[in-house]
Structure 1
Amino acid sequence: MITAPLPLDEDVRLRALRQLDILDTDPEEAFDRISRLAAFAFDMPIVLISLVDEDRQWFKSHHGLAACETPRSVSFCAHAVLSKRMLVVEDALDDERFLDNPLVTGAPNIRFYAGSPLRLADGQVVGTLCLIDAKPRTFDAAQGAMLADFAHLVERELELRRQLNRSRAAHERDRRSLAISEARFRTVFQQTPIGKAVVDLDGRFLDVNQKFSAIIGYEESELRRRTFASVTHPADIAADLAQVAELLAGRQATYAMEKRYLRPDGQAVWVNLAVSLVRDVSGAPLHFIAAVQDITSRKKSEEALRNYHVELEARVRERTAELRRSRDALQTITDNVPALIAVVDRDLCYQFNNETFKRVFGAEPAALRGRSLGETLRPEVFQQLQPLFARALAGERVTCDEVRYRADADRVWSATYIPAKREGKVTGFYVMAHDVTEQRRTEQRLREGALIDPLTGLANRRALHEALCELRASGEPLALFFMDMDGFKSINDRFGHDVGDALLKEVARRLVATVRAGDVVCRLGGDEFVVASRGVSDARTGERIAAAICREVSKAFVVAGRVIETSASVGVVLTGAAGAAGVVDATHAVLSAEVENKACADDPLCLADAAMYEAKRAGRNTWRLAPNPEVMAALDA
């Protein structure tokens, strides 16, 4: 007996077979009907629809035979799968490959065999439709053609099954994605420590979270019966409505302002309000998303600080007038104020310094008196502040909010310069500087949190939107690469979300290392990434970058001690690039249906998404180049 060797493309063939999701399934009438008809047409006692797995041949239909499977090593069908052609054995005892085969020497005592390969749409042979008899038979060309026709019927059923599996998988994937997206939004909306509200175009509250209700003191049910104007301080309504009008006119995407809401008891509460307008795919406004932070305490602190400044300025002026009599008293007062306080004359020399100068500059206050600011300040700081000194000496009160006195420290100061007058003439100015480092850090954290993906550290969707607006406004050629990982869900299911998250971080690292230093690398969410490359002006360069992305992602990853293999499908769009027009005829027909469904023929990101799905359909681990939006618009016209 001669066992058929494995085909060269065995891994691909087995993957295609398993994608049918048919092995070990219950009998189906569609397949059994074909077996019965073939048995009748050929007057054959045994007809099998045999699918050749890794170690066995399994029978989806077995007319005239009780067994459901046999070992692949003794399979006649394995020889047909190897050759990918019809196999006819008129007498097994005359064929050295089979004369001592257990299926010949024992039940079912095969003497005659004819098997037609079952070939899928991608060319992979997954099994055979075979005829078996316990006695030798002749088999002419006409019978072979008819057997091939019956095999085509089986192939059609297999292809219909594969398409149905794909449709079911896509539907389930979309259903799960939608459910996850909705759950994520609801969780973020409700549990965020920031007040959130959804407001319709007429200003009515559609939805609010508990934090929003707590800030302005109304129950959620009551707010849904009100408009934002009805709970806004009358003095702030006009400014708020003016910003809303700018959003609706499309002149800005978001706005932020400080305003006051009125609680049910009439008490005003200060908030920091950030509003975005949500539009549908056609650009029509849908509703507003508002984020609210209670800044009442900060406002009170600012008012107190302003009062403190006013009081301090008055005290400084008063004490300066008494300086000749009470310098020691003045020194004691200012030394206990957590700020830099100094008096500078018209020659820019210190006349007075408080104790805080010792902590910041490392010099005794008394040692600084008489020394010029140019000697004590770093050259770049002196150059930065010199114009403000001149304005203060001209009688203007000025402030610089970004002063860094020491190069070896990261402290930031807000310095105010107040003209000092005597008998109507400016004799110098007072210096009052407050450490605002923590305030700046808090503001920076808030800005970064809105633009950075917390998992990978890449730019997020909002940051990408801002970058694309800037890049497109510049008029330069631009290439977008929309990348989706192949099989990421199965990795999550098999190894868990912690491994999946670690893999996403590694993918992000490779993307940053692969593209150019100035390119924008963004994670949209899930396993979707986008790269925006400025100055890419021809299709060849775009394809080279896409190939590099596919190549790097397809290399094995070592994550949490496991070797994980994956790949990526990439869609590429070039905007404002003449090189992209050359591929329009080849890709326009393929992408038109996808683009029409998405209603985004003029949106480069949407076109890149559609091209990525075309890469998926082409077999994954590849890329597809879409025509640029201007050419698509011209062809559609």
Structure 2
Amino acid sequence: MITAPLPLDEDLRLQALKRLEILDSEPEEAFDRVARLAARAFGVPIVLVSLVDEDRQWFKSHHGLAACETPRSMSFCAHAVLSKRMLVVDDALDDERFLDNPLVLGAPYIRFYAGAPLRLADGQVIGTLCLIDTQPRSLGADDAQALADYAQLVERELEVRRQLIHSRTAHERDRRSLAISEARFTTVFKETPIGNALVALDGHFLEVNPMFSEITGYDEATLRKLTFAEVTHPADVASDVALAAELVAGKQTTYATEKRYVRPDGTAIWVNLAVTLLRDATGVPLHFIAAVQDIDSRKRSEEALGNYHAELEERVRERTTELRRSRDALQTITDNLPVLIAVVDRDLRYQFNNETFRRVLATPSAMLRGASVRDTLRPEVFEQLQPYFARALAGERVTCNEVRYRADEERIWCTTYIPAEREGKVTGFYVMSHDVTEQRHTEQRLRENALIDPLTGLANRRALEEELGATLADGSPFALFFIDLDGFKSINDRYGHDTGDALLREVANRLKSTVRAGDFVSRLGGDEFVMLSRGVTESMSAERIAQAACHALARPFVAGGQIVETSASVGVALHSADEGGGRPDEPLCLADAAMYEAKRAGRNTWRLARQAARAVSLVQ
């Protein structure tokens, strides 16, 4: 592979590219449209708008290719930039410059390439509009002219971008006042389907949109004379004021709460309130931005549903005799409740079911009356609930928090079994179920978020402790690897925390691709990572895993647009099945201590706990 040398005017070329402020920008339809049209016109699978940076070629548009950049050393486009003329390669395998190029031998398997230079108004060539095919082909004179015409469309978009940047610079002195004005009078503020308000620091309303007036019942002119405290329910004022004070004090950047407004007619309406404090460039508070959503119907529904269960149980106990004489009345009442209701006798046969119960089980009323519970429910559901039936028939009120009546849907029911008594004897039990699907999904999301490191997407410390505890409890042998990056603080100091965060994410990706399927990878915090490999019983196996991790992290990273070099020190602790259980922190402490031995041994190496003095160096 022959790498294109740098053009003589490389510094000027790179300066022109940087001034466009286009590198690593979001996709734009104008460029993507040209790429799509070119792909259709020339019948090629891949069309790129390629910009050649200092160490890479970055694709402003990449039709037919998932990657958004490749190293400049592999770039065909770098040769076109050097020559400043259209470059056509009929068959890369017949061209000594490219025949061993990784992009030819591997994905995307380039065989044909045609790149038209993208030239700015000052004559600098910053990249190409290129056509790529996986099959050899040629480019006739007419096609070459057409490709040049498409390139001119891209150049026109680049020139428009350059002129916009120039205009933006000319008007930068007015940016702050314009931004505040636009923020206040934006169309989104006025026409959004939720209530919006700008509130002064003293609580007075500055601006409100029509939806805010509709929710509170006050017109805009009236609201401008009031403070938010004057239209808030007295019971909610103190908490609202306290939260606003925390924003001003800088203790938090935003808050959300549920509160009540009092409308002019004296009625209260529940809303979901989200508040942000806007500050100027120096950090001085300006005003609050409030977003309000009407949740009055939901709150009233929640209150009603919360009372249904208790009220229904009391009603069943107080009116058992009366409802037995008037089954039609009972049926009418229960059919209109959003819960499953049934009566089961001691032989586990249905004596009564409401309409919701019949609808969920998809069984007609005539078939349920007297039907066996065992024959009606799915076998696995019956096996799950049979212990609850036995306890209810023994006189105990019991609840199963998770019942899935049907296999063809994901609805989850919370079911309570209440003993039915007559003359002091249990004659069966009542069944009452309410849908808790959304509640369970919310709980699951909260738990998952609590166990995931938000920066890297790996398991966090809490998840690691749970995994270690479970592994120790079942007596499985395992190896624990404590990994600490070498020199991470200096990387943060040199490149900034954004690059440091990007590096940590790349480290997480490499560790996940290095370990075995089923191994557990987590981030403790900072630049510390822990891997747990079940079934590892021999030191040689643990050594191979540690060595692989060191090698993977010693290769240069591309993080935050920078090429960053680092390494890792790894401490290894083996835990055999003979050692039994123990506390999760014991193997973690052993691996941590071994890691520090690796640090003292020169870094970019590993040490095995209890054998940390053994000299083991990695071949660089």
Question: TM-score normalised to the size of structure 2?
Answer: 0.43
Q: With the length of structure 1 as denominator, give the TM-score of the two structures.
A: 0.42
